[in-house]
Chains A and B, each alone.
Chain A
């Protein structure tokens, strides 16, 4: 099972919006609505920000949103803030009772 493809880095100024893509196949991202997104600050465990493609767990700001089209899922951060600078990973159920993660994207707040 290959890792999902994400851009290595994206950047934006405070207040701007950035979007991170996560490209898989019809066997993972495209086949199931079980895409989630994680935020990871240096030295910390990942924190889940989005699940089931679009849903936000309690406590996650509504400026984080998720979507999916075909084999590509996306995470959008609106109104970028300094504390959003982190690594972001997507994850998808891939059938056969397994999960696959994305390659990770570093978000830089300029």
Chain B
């Protein structure tokens, strides 16, 4: 059974960097058939796909246009986890952030969610 466990701070100051980690159990971040995603949810923006990392003989990353210039997703094979870094955060980045595995052409396993508040 695949499980994702998120960790990271719930409060970040404006202009600083938001960093979250998603630890994987029951699968591998280096899997050739899965991808590892970050999604956020807020009352104003609903569910918003942010980006993903995946391995297909080499590492790839894809990002939503809305965050592409500020976001980095990195795999950590030594710890079997992946992370999100969002730079220069603003109050509008306040949301519940989820990590999720992509299988079955969709997000089939989700983390528990992390509520992140950006203070001005």
Contact = CB atoms under 8 A, between A and B. Distances in A.
B104 A45 contact: no
B106 A51 contact: yes
Given A45-B98, A45-B110, A45-B113, A57 B104 contact: yes
A57 B65 contact: no
Interface string A46-90: 111001100101000000000000000000000000000000010
Given A45-B98, A45-B111, A36 B106 contact: yes
B89 interface: no
Interface residues on B, range: 10 to 19
Q: Is the interface of B mostly helix, strand, loop or mixed?
A: strand
Contact of B64 (A34, A91, A98): A98
Given A1-B64, A45-B98, A45-B111, A89 B105 contact: no
Interface string B53-71: 0000000001011000000
Interface in B36-91: 37, 39, 46-49, 62, 64-65
Contacts of B37: 99
Interface residues of A, number: 25
A47 B107 CA distance: 9
Given A47-B110, A91-B49, A102-B47, 14 more contacts: A1-B64, A36-B104, A36-B106, A38-B107, A48-B107, A48-B108, A51-B106, A52-B104, A91-B106, A93-B105, A99-B37, A99-B106, A100-B49, A103-B46
Interface of A: 1, 3, 34, 36, 38, 45-48, 51-52, 55, 57, 89, 91, 93, 96-104
9 contacts: A36-B104, A46-B110, A51-B105, A51-B106, A52-B104, A52-B105, A99-B106, A103-B46, A104-B46
* In the A-B complex, the 10 residue pairs with the closest CB atoms: A36-B106, A101-B47, A97-B62, A45-B110, A99-B49, A51-B104, A34-B105, A51-B106, A48-B108, A45-B113
